[in-house]
Structure 1
Amino acid sequence: MRVKHLARAAVIAGAAALPLAGTLPLAGTLPSAQATTPPSQAFAVSASGPVAVPATPSVTSSGPSTVSRSVAELPANPVLQARVLNAAAGKAHARASVVDLKVPKAHLTASLVTAKCVKGQGRSQLVKVQLNGKTIKAAARPNSAVSVNLDTLGTASLVLNKQTRTPDGRLNVTAIELTLPLGPGKTETISIASATCGKGTDGPSDPGKPEQPGPSPTTPPSTPPPGQAPAPTPVPSDLPVTG
């Protein structure tokens, strides 16, 4: 009789344990303890339109290590010239810089253009930038709009210190975005110094200062909510604006 009672007790205990076992996830289905960090990205120049210039140099980093690339001189093309192009990206930081920029058709020149993003905050710097013979301030407010009439082409427009949020919440900073008419129905878009990064987590996140940095902006940049591109803001009074 004692043997029968022990066997019956074992059956009951096993049946009671089954529901509990069914609620436990398998080892292979356990959720990841660490969410994937959105990558940081940067490039020095790119252009789209009748003349395509791929992002040069372009870097992407999803890990703690900083990835850097440099190009001594932009390959010859019909729309822009630039030297000493740099791009770097790492954990929650990115930066890009361009030296001796020239866009002959827009009468745009610059000694140095930089963009920098650190932990979801960004800024850009413009050193000795001229548009159609007029000087542009070194530290433009975010999303400043500039336009100029070009005698043979029409109206060219710039957005300085362009800042937008990607759908996943990262900040993109583009120091100069130029929209240039190249004839009837033809428009060229040129992006100079672009950096994208997220807020990241605690720990080292600054890749260092861009080459020959200019002064810091006098006002902190404001950033739009995720997924929303901000409207351009008026430029300061000493920037060239077509009347």
Structure 2
Amino acid sequence: MRSIHLTRSAVLAGVIAAPLAVAAAPASHAAAGHGSAYAVSAAGPVAIPATPAVTSSGAPARRSVAELSGNPLVSASVLTAAAAAGRGRASVADLRIARAALTAEAVTVRCENGRAVAHLANAEIAGRRLQASPAPNSGVTVSLDRVGKVSLTLNKQVRNADGGLTVTAIALALPPVAGRSQTISIASVTCGPSDAAPAPTHRPSTPPDDAPPHDIPPSTMPSPNTHLPQAPAPTPVAKDLPVTG
């Protein structure tokens, strides 16, 4: 059983890394923007710093942690985060949050140039199966005995001021304890878009209302204040005309 678990974990880690382990593109076609990612974080009575976390505005960066430990709230294995210019990816395997009755075999999220997708493999909360590919900002609420109301936002997407996108596969909120709320984020990525095309340095001015039509050269259009020369008067010419009749 242990060898099977390690094999599955190794495969998952390889899948996460593969899309970002690409050769650098030529300078004229290099990706622009920024990317960042982390696998798990929590705020509240139990605080978990973003683990692992990476950020990049250029070459791919990747970090992984074999197992999340040292906290009483979240357990997971093969936590992976990867980022590069304009894209990022994060994943978690064997997720378990006992207090929320939440489990998942795997959770992944990917974002590239402002577009994102999240996937949950065999995820359940309180025995309720969660969608494998939830729509953006899908809400789920359950009431648990001795816990209270637990709220989930699946595939949570927030558009940032710079045009980038932050997407979190699972954003979980637990009822307050001693007046303090507990939140947990699973697999979160921020990706900034590629640089927009530069604006033209010269913009044609708008012609005035009295400008000549484009199909008539301006030099041939007389000024309204210019006096044109009078045509010469006709000169009679003596000539014999044929007589008919």
Partner Cα separation in structure 2 for residue 39 and residue 201 of structure 1: 10
Q: Residue 136 of structure 1 corresponds to which residue in structure 2?
A: 130
Deviation at 1:76, TM superposition (A): 2.3
DSSP 3-state at the match of 1:137: coil
1:54 maps onto 2:49 in alignment:
yes
Q: Residue 95 of structure 2 corresponds to which residue in structure 1?
A: 101
1:45 maps onto 2:40 in alignment:
yes
- Higher alpha-carbon Rg: 2
1:126 maps onto 2:120 in alignment:
yes
Structure showing greater relative contact order (alpha-carbon pairs closer than 8 Å, 6 or more residues apart): 1
Partner Cα separation in structure 2 for residue 95 and residue 38 of structure 1: 15
Aligned-residue RMSD, C-alpha: 1.4
Kept in 2, the 8 Å contact 1:153–1:182? The answer is no
Partner Cα separation in structure 2 for residue 195 and residue 163 of structure 1: 10
For structure 1, the residue ranges without an aligned partner over 5 or more in a row are 1-36, 203-243
1:68 maps onto 2:62 in alignment:
yes
Amino acid at match of 1:48: A
DSSP 3-state at the match of 1:105: helix
TM-score (norm 2): 0.65
- Spell out, residue by residue over 1:59-112, the C-alpha distance to the aligned partner (whole angstroms, 9 max, x if none): 01011x100000000122011101000000001110000000000000000000
After the TM superposition, which segments of 4 or more aligned residues of structure 1 sit over 6 Å from their partners?
none
Deviation at 1:153, TM superposition (A): 1.6
Partner Cα separation in structure 1 for residue 51 and residue 168 of structure 2: 14
Amino acid at match of 2:39: A
Q: Residue 75 of structure 2 corresponds to which residue in structure 1?
A: 81
Q: Which deviates more, 136-145 or 183-192?
A: 183-192
Kept in 2, the 8 Å contact 1:153–1:183? The answer is no
Partner Cα separation in structure 1 for residue 44 and residue 177 of structure 2: 12
Partner Cα separation in structure 2 for residue 128 and residue 176 of structure 1: 14
Kept in 1, the 8 Å contact 2:33–2:193? The answer is no
For structure 2, the residue ranges without an aligned partner over 5 or more in a row are 1-31, 197-245
1:192 maps onto 2:186 in alignment:
yes
Equivalences for 1:140-151 in 2 at 5 Å? 140-151=134-145
Aligned to 1:114, which of 105, 108, 117? 108
1:158 maps onto 2:152 in alignment:
yes
- Spell out, residue by residue over 1:185-211, the C-alpha distance to the aligned partner (whole angstroms, 9 max, x if none): 222100000011122159xxxxxxxxx
Kept in 1, the 8 Å contact 2:67–2:77? The answer is yes
Kept in 1, the 8 Å contact 2:79–2:92? The answer is yes
Partner Cα separation in structure 2 for residue 165 and residue 118 of structure 1: 13
Partner Cα separation in structure 2 for residue 92 and residue 83 of structure 1: 27
Partner Cα separation in structure 1 for residue 83 and residue 104 of structure 2: 23
- Spell out, residue by residue over 1:148-199, the C-alpha distance to the aligned partner (whole angstroms, 9 max, x if none): 0011021010000001111211111100000012534222100000011122
Kept in 2, the 8 Å contact 1:74–1:85? The answer is yes
Q: Residue 211 of structure 2 corresponds to which residue in structure 1?
A: none
